[in-house]
Amino acid sequence: MTDMEEIKKKIASDPFARTLGVRFDEIREGYAKLSMQVRDDMINFNGSTHGGVIFALADIAFSAASNSHGTAAVALHANITYLKAVTPGSTLTATGIEENKTRKTGLYRITIQDGDGDQIAVFQGVVYRKGQPLL
C-alpha cells in the first residue's frame, strides 16, 4: 500500500465511526468527506437527530482531515453552530477542509448537510501536532 492508503485505512479504522455507521467517502490531504444515515436510536427526546450525533460526524471528518498528512493531530478545541433540526432517517454528509496549517497547529472547518442538501451545522476544530507520525 502507498502511504496515503495506509493513512486512510488507519483513519477509517475508528471504532466509534463504525458504531455510528459512518462511511469515509473521500480522504485526501487536508480534506475529508463522510456520510452516515441517522438511525432511530440517534435522536433526542424531541424526535430530532441528536446534536451529539451531528457533532460526532463532524468530529470524525475533522479527525480525518487533520490526520491526513500522516502526522498525528490532537484536538484542542471544537465548536459547532446548529442551523436546522433534522428528522431521523436522513442521510447526513460532512465535508471537512483545512483552513490553516502551521507546523504545530491547524484550523479545520466542517459543514454538515442533510439529505435535502440544506446546511444543518457548521463546525470548527483546532488541533495541535506534537510531531509524531500517525502510523
| Residues in touch with its own copies (CB under 8 A) | 10-11, 13-16, 18-19, 40-46, 50-53, 55-57, 59-60, 63, 72, 74-83, 85, 99-100, 104-105, 107, 109, 119, 122, 124, 126, 128, 130
Nearest approach, Cβ of 60 to its own copies (angstroms)? 7
Nearest approach, Cβ of 2 to its own copies (angstroms)? 18
φ, ψ for residue 18, nearest 5 deg: -65, -45
- Torsion over CA: 83, 88, 116, 54 (sign): positive
Neighbours of 92 (CB within 10 A): 23
* Residue 33 vs 49, nearer CB to its own copies: 49
- Torsion over CA: 67, 33, 76, 10 (sign): negative
Nearest approach, Cβ of 41 to its own copies (angstroms)? 5
* Residue 83 vs 91, nearer CB to its own copies: 83
* Residue 4 vs 43, nearer CB to its own copies: 43
Nearest approach, Cβ of 26 to its own copies (angstroms)? 17
Q: How many angstroms separate the Cα of 91 from the Cα of each of 1, 38, 70, 81, 118?
A: 31, 6, 29, 19, 11
